[in-house]
């Protein structure tokens, strides 16, 4: 496994997000276990998958398999307790790209932008564009698992 560093920012109301390819994402958690363990199904841009994550730090593991639409339909009802429904836009940012998520349903009003780096130096040197708001990388209430079970968007 390579190093993977992600920084996450809010995109405030009123900011205009640059154009980019856009598609629907819905994901739901089948089971949320201790220490970040999870089994999650996702439909993204029409493709479905199942992902399992478990462990922390050096022993963290991740496994994934594609699902057919029928399999996704069998499992989706099991995620009713922990779902996220959003529109994702991929915005080029020079050599990087921002993954901008506009949330729907309970989380309507929330927009986030994530940028992924493979190099810690590049991550630290990254200059957010003017339409990025406050950074929330280290705020647990903005983690995917927490958002999936939140009743409303976390306060900025």
Give the Cα separation of 17 and 147 in Å (integer). 22
Question: Is 121 in contact with 78 (CB distance < 8 Å)?
Answer: no
Residue 144 touching its own copies (CB under 8 A): no
Q: Which of 9, 10, 27, 29 is catalytic?
A: 29
Question: Is 58 in contact with 124 (CB distance < 8 Å)?
Answer: no
Size of the site for its own copies (CB under 8 A): 24
Residue 93 touching its own copies (CB under 8 A): no
Question: What residues from 47 to 76 belong to the interface with its own copies (CB under 8 A)?
Answer: 50, 52, 54, 61, 63-67, 70-71, 74-75
Give the Cα separation of 67 and 121 in Å (integer). 36
Among 1, 4, 14, 34, binds its own copies (CB under 8 A): 34
Of 16-24, 35-43, 84-92, 107-115, the segment contacting its own copies by CB under 8 A is 35-43
Q: Record the tokens describing residue 49, joined without a space.
A: 């998958």
How far is CA 39 from each of CA 31, 51, 59, 156, rounded to the nearest angstrom?
5, 6, 17, 28
Residue 103 bears catalytic tag: no
> What is the closest distance, in whole angstroms, from the C-beta atom of residue 154 to its own copies in the complex?
23
Cβ neighbours of residue 1 closer than 8 Å, sequence gap 6 or more? 60, 62
Binding site residues, its own copies, CB under 8 A? 30-34, 37-39, 50, 52, 54, 61, 63-67, 70-71, 74-75, 77-78, 81
Positions marked catalytic: 29
């Amino acid at each position: 496994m390579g190093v993977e560093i992600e920084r996450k920012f809010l995109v405030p109301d009123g900011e205009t997000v640059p154009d980019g390819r856009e598609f629907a994402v819905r994901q739901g958690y089948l089971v949320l276990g201790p220490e970040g363990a999870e089994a999650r199904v996702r439909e993204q841009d029409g493709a479905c998958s199942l992902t399992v994550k478990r462990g922390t730090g050096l022993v963290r593991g991740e496994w994934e398999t594609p699902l057919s639409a029928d399999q996704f339909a069998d499992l989706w009802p099991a995620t009713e307790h922990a779902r996220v429904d959003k529109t994702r836009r991929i915005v080029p940012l020079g050599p990087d790209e921002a993954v901008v998520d506009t949330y729907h349903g309970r989380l309507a009003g929330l927009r986030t932008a994530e940028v992924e780096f493979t190099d810690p130096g590049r991550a630290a040197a990254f200059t957010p564009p003017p339409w990025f708001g406050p950074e929330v990388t280290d705020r647990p209430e903005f983690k995917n698992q927490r958002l999936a079970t939140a009743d409303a968007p976390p306060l900025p």
